[in-house]
Amino acid sequence: MEVGGLANPGAACAPIDWDAPWLDSLRGLRPLLQADDWRFALSEEASRRGVRSGEGRTVEFVAAAAAQMPYELFIAQTGQVPTRDNQHDLFNALIWLVYPRAKAALNARQAAEIRRSGVRPVRGPVRDAATLIDESGLLLLSNDAQVITALREHDWRRLLIDWRVRWGRDILALAFGHALLEKLSGPFKAITAAVVPLPLRSDADNSAARFIARPALAPALLPHLPVLGIPGWCAANADPHFYADPLVFRPRRDATGMDAD
């Protein structure tokens, strides 16, 4: 029985709309999820693409079991990515295949931090940022520095209305976080991504890996964007009134915490 467009995985999966714009980079992998042994099919594709963990181990997708060590350290050391039968882990596996260098860079940073400081209640800025990117990341590609300035200043009108025609041309948005993709399977207006700003006309995977490898990686480098405001990602946002919702498209706050507008 096919569930959510997948023949085997996903008895617990919500339907996946493979025509959704945020799945553009993953759509070609859909047939792998229809294999009788879909984890094996994903692993074979990972081997074919030369996907490696943060410590250079060949990546394979395995059924989840009791962890013998912290999750990221386990992946780094063994290359085995525990993959449950749900959307969250399926999207994680697909992102490993499409953005292998960025995923390996995240895995390497997480594993190195765990080795350095152990698993603590407070993860620290590097692990916090890596987790935000891994779970909720959106790669935003543009060569115009004003794009990120507008985003940081919450200048939604300029970014999403005045520059609407630029999206998909010289402003590109690529969904990366697997939790973000899971949420978008049942989209709601307040879904927000942590933005990784990257140059246009570059290999997004390599550029993201370099961003993740920077020594001062921290959450402050990741501005937030309500993703259903992206032109083309939601039919309703063709009406400018869509953005007149201060609970989602929040005004910028000044140093005192007050609205700056």
Q: What is the block-wise mean pLDDT of the chain (261 residues), using blocks of 10 residues?
A: 37 74 97 94 98 98 82 95 95 98 98 86 88 98 97 98 97 98 96 97 93 97 98 97 96 59 49
pTM of the model: 0.91
174 vs 140: CA distance, rounded Å: 7
* Burial class of residue 66, CB neighbours in 10 A (0-12, 13-18, 19+): exposed
Radius of gyration of the chain (CA): 19
